[in-house]
Amino acid sequence: IPFKDDNSNIVLVFMPDQAQCDSVKKTVGESGINGNFNCFAYKNMVYNSTWDSVINGCTHVVVGSQVDENNPPNDGVKILKDDQDPNNSKYCFPLKIVDKCNSVTKPVSVISLDSPFDVANFDNADSIICAYGAQGLDSDGNQGPNIPAAIQTIFGKSEPKGKLPTDVVDPINKTKVVYSKVLPTLPSPSTPVYPPNYQNLPKYQNLPNYQNLPKYQNHPNYQYRPIYLNSNVYPIDDKHDYEPIGDEYH
């Protein structure tokens, strides 16, 4: 994401109920999102080959998932995506949609509409957004902010923000954290590393702005490259280094 916002788009949207589909349609119109949108409420539906042809004819797919825990039908070893019980449609139907999209290379984005635990079910989705709210469009034309915000983010009308409030574990191995609420710690900027005794190299310290040579400081991970750490060569550009000639550096 974001998906391209283009008039040629043919977008399929799958939501658990019709009120959520109506919220998507309203958001698309009010936000000026381009393309042809077809929305389907999949509650109590069982995935079959009819949906294969529907997905084959689209350009993008959005799937809403609304479960309060990430325990779709499983045998303790694998998720049973082909479960034909309509009562399990809230688990199995979105999983089958994402699998089909992957098999025919259709971009698919999943919206987690409830608690975020179900994001672990969709490790093969192109993107997953936690919306934390499932309120659709009511008879008075009112809707919650969550579905509109997610749709706008998917199509580049808003920037995604936020972090997980809790760890998300694997659907089967409950001791394995697949998404952590703790953001990864990025390394702090390192102090530039120069060749040994660079301050004592004749005429080296007198070069204009030798400490700020642009291509040296901007070289990716230059402080970790052995040639810079273990030699007396101070890179000036990609092709020419200072090389010792007699007692001077040129």
pLDDT in tens, 166-198: 999 999 998 999 999 887 666 666 655 555 555
pLDDT of res. 75: 86
* Count of CB atoms situated within 10 Å of the CB of 199: 9
pTM exceeds cut of 0.75: no
Buried b (16+ CB within 10 A) or exposed e, 210-246: beebeebeeeeebeeeeebeeeeebbeeeeeebeeee
Where the chain has pLDDT below 50, the residues are: 200, 202, 204, 209, 212-219, 221-250
**What 3-state class would DSSP assign to 73?**
coil
Residue-wise pLDDT for 69-92, tens only, equals 788 888 888 889 998 899 999 999
Residue 196, pLDDT score? 56
State how far the Cα of 111 lies from the Cα of 125, in Å rounded to an integer: 10
Domains of the chain: 10-167 (3.40.50.1700), 198-249 (no CATH)
The neighbour count for residue 69, using CB atoms within 10 Å, is 12
Check residue 35 and report its DSSP letter: S
